[in-house]
Amino acid sequence: MAAQKVEHYEIATYGSLTQFVKTLGKTDLADLMVQTLEEEKEAAQLLTSIAENNNVKVTVE
C-alpha cells in the first residue's frame, strides 16, 4: 500500500509538471514528463496486479 501511495503521488506530480512545462512552451521537456508519467502509471498498475493476484499472504489470528 505504501508503494502504491508513492506511485500515485508521482503520477500527480508528473501530471502537474507536464502542464507546467507546456505552459512555459518547453515541448521537449513535456515529452519527457509524459514519458515519465506513463512509467509511473505502469508501476502503479504492476502493484495493483500484484495485490489482485494475492502474491502477499496475510494471516489473521
Point out which residues bind Fe ion (CB under 5 A): 7, 10, 40, 43
Is residue 38 within 8 A of residue 18, CB to CB? The reply is no
Total length of the chain:
61
Minimum gap (Å) between residue 59 Cβ and Fe ion: 29
Q: How many CB atoms lie within 10 A of CB 30?
A: 18
Quote the CA–CA distance of 34 and 49 in Å, as a whole number: 22
Between 32 and 43, name the residue whose CB sits nearer to Fe ion. 43
Between 10 and 29, name the residue whose CB sits nearer to Fe ion. 10
Minimum gap (Å) between residue 28 Cβ and Fe ion: 22
Between 21 and 40, name the residue whose CB sits nearer to Fe ion. 40
